[in-house]
Structure 1
Amino acid sequence: MREQARFWRHPAVPEVDLLKARYVTHRFTRHVHEGYAIGVILEGVEEFDYRGTLNRAAAGQVVAVNPEHEHTGQAGEPGGWAYRMLYPSIDTLSSLAAELRLPPGTPHFPSQVLTDPDLARLLTSAHAATEHGNDLAASTLIRTAFARLLRRHAIPRPAVELPASGDLAVRRAVEVLHESLIDPPSLDDLARAVQARPFPLLRAFKAATGLPPHAYLTQLRVRHARRLLEAGVRPAQVAAEVGFTDQAHLNRHFKRIVGVPPAAYQRTAGTYKTPEIGSHTL
């Protein structure tokens, strides 16, 4: 079976990215999302490590990944898995939770694999509506699906502050990495810049962000690359502007985090084109 994927947005739900894919050998490297990752497994089994816990999601189950929580993704059986994924922003679900008059706080999903057939069917229908439905159907079904997800499976979670020990150094280190996409410092130089020792900084950084500094930097580069691709910048130029050595380097890391290559992402992200599953072979 070929690996196939399509990434797009619908104009009626601009704060929600959409992915429809089948993966067999593809593996998502450890990464985080700025928003949520909500999906329905259509076939097979997806296996993913979520903050040190191994999860398995089978056909008919729902996956719920919280923002900025590190996780992986790979096949849980030889045939791989197929799924529909929705990536709503934090503001999208927080605003909806407020409209529903749910308890205040950022929505948080304590369980990452949900067995809820009604919700799975509704999420699948909502996702399909962005392919085949009109603006009203797409926006209505997605909001209805997210409302059910929030009411049944979310709890409020206040903003989590960084640990008191080393938090200032971590905050400064994050700022340095944001400013150093092209020419990042070594761990020793980063530690000196924030007046910390390398290994204590490494431990504190990973505890606060879920990723070591080098992986966090790759995540930043890919996020910036997405914005440039959406603006129409050519992938080769994007690679240079975000600090990757060449386009192949960008392709490798981009696909491991986003699930599709940069050129495929650029063709559809930010525009609505009725996607056909299998229209892009990985």
Structure 2
Amino acid sequence: MGNWVNIQRDADTGIELVHAHFKGFAYDPHFHSSYLIGVTELGNQQFHCRRKLVNSHQGQVFMLEPEEVHDGYAPEPLGFTYKMLHIDQDWLKQKYQGLFTQPFELEVASTLNSDPLVAQLVDASYRAMSNQEPQLMKDSYLDLLLERLAHQNLWSARENSICALPDIALKIKEILHENLYTDLDLNTLAQLAGADRFFINRVFKQAFNCAPHQYLIRLRLDQAKILLKAGIPASMVANSLCFADQSHLGRWFKRCYGLTLRQYQSACTNVLSSSR
């Protein structure tokens, strides 16, 4: 397998998604105006940054601030594969705005991070945007990632401000039911619930043992079964329930129910009449 690079851009956030594989030389010293947050999927990638030689092994997260010069190459014959998010610094600053009593700007203390949760959230955020998942899912994973990257001591005071958790969680649940056919985003959900968007996931998960976007997907899949049983074409079902397309709905449906859309609809619309 030779070198390859796949690039996408998420229209809502402007985040650039890069999935790449390199053997040997990868790229000359350069910099980006955005934050780089990536995870090494396979192999070992080496790069010079901050006057050091950095080795990022499989499962490790690498992070760079805007305009940090770096190069890249593979020291091992099989090369390395990585996923990376290019995050605009103004967008990131706006996301953190108003969260803390003092102005906050993300500082990358180390170019390497071995926190497995950060690695999982980078991958989950990448997949959610790449697969054009519902807006609430994309927002949720990105917020969880941003929260994890911020200094933990800045969140401690805010933790104590969460009150009436069951009431907020029930209100969120109501809103999700009301927005079955709307591509709800996290900011709108937070405004409707009257809660801080960074704690929406935590409050809901504490009450219902799943994140709001997971609950909404399950609601939509359950509704998809009802619509498919009514004989509505799968493409129309997917579109009405905010899936990117029929194949997107089909992938989720198969994962949850073990059946394709065609198999389920065929079984439920060709019911044998009972004989006496």
TM-score norm. by structure 1 comes to: 0.51
* Matched position secondary structure for 1:151: coil
Map of 2:109 onto structure 1: 110
Is the counterpart of residue 124 in structure 1 residue 153 in structure 2?
no
**Following TM superposition, by how much is the alpha carbon of 1:56 offset from its aligned partner in structure 2, in angstroms?**
0.6
Structure 2 distance, partners of 1:7, 1:131, is 10
Structure 2 distance, partners of 1:45, 1:124, is 17
Q: Is the 8 A contact 1:126 1:138 kept in 2?
A: yes
Structure 1 distance, partners of 2:29, 2:152, is 28
Q: Compared with structure 1, are the counterparts of its residues 152 and 41 closer, same or farther at alpha carbon in structure 2 (3 Å cutoff)? A: farther
Post-superposition CA distance 1:19-50 (Å, at most 9, x none): 01111134211111101111011111110100
Q: Is the 8 A contact 2:27 2:72 kept in 1?
A: yes
Q: Is the 8 A contact 1:43 1:58 kept in 2?
A: yes
Map of 2:74 onto structure 1: 75
**Following TM superposition, by how much is the alpha carbon of 1:107 offset from its aligned partner in structure 2, in angstroms?**
1.8
Q: Is the 8 A contact 2:8 2:130 kept in 1?
A: no
Structure 2 distance, partners of 1:139, 1:34, is 23
Following TM superposition, the consecutive aligned residue runs of length 4 or more in structure 1 with deviations greater than 4 angstroms are: none
Map of 1:31 onto structure 2: 30
* Count of residues in correspondence between the two structures: 156
Q: Is the 8 A contact 2:63 2:112 kept in 1?
A: yes
Map of 2:3 onto structure 1: 3
**Following TM superposition, by how much is the alpha carbon of 1:153 offset from its aligned partner in structure 2, in angstroms?**
11
Write the letter of the residue equivalent to 2:106.
Answer: P
Map of 2:48 onto structure 1: 49
**Following TM superposition, by how much is the alpha carbon of 1:130 offset from its aligned partner in structure 2, in angstroms?**
1.2
When the two chains are superposed, the root-mean-square deviation of aligned CA atoms in Å is 2.6
TM-score norm. by structure 2 comes to: 0.52
Map of 1:100 onto structure 2: 99
Post-superposition CA distance 1:154-183 (Å, at most 9, x none): 9xxxxxxxxxxxxxxxxxxxxxxxxxxxxx
**Following TM superposition, by how much is the alpha carbon of 1:79 offset from its aligned partner in structure 2, in angstroms?**
1.3
Higher relative contact order (CA 8 A, sep 6+): 1
Q: Is the 8 A contact 2:13 2:91 kept in 1?
A: no
Q: Compared with structure 1, are the counterparts of its residues 105 and 47 closer, same or farther at alpha carbon in structure 2 (3 Å cutoff)? A: same
Structure 1 distance, partners of 2:150, 2:91, is 12
Q: Is the 8 A contact 1:12 1:139 kept in 2?
A: no
| Long gaps (5+) in structure 1 | 155-271, 275-282
Q: Is the 8 A contact 1:13 1:138 kept in 2?
A: no
Write the letter of the residue equivalent to 2:119.
Answer: A
**Following TM superposition, by how much is the alpha carbon of 1:83 offset from its aligned partner in structure 2, in angstroms?**
0.8
Bigger CA radius of gyration: 2
Map of 1:165 onto structure 2: none
Write the letter of the residue equivalent to 2:138.
Answer: A
Task: Report sequence identity in percent.
Answer: 26
Structure 2 distance, partners of 1:130, 1:102, is 31
Q: Is the 8 A contact 2:17 2:130 kept in 1?
A: no
Q: Compared with structure 1, are the counterparts of its residues 68 and 107 closer, same or farther at alpha carbon in structure 2 (3 Å cutoff)? A: same
Q: Is the 8 A contact 2:24 2:75 kept in 1?
A: no
Q: Is the 8 A contact 1:25 1:80 kept in 2?
A: yes
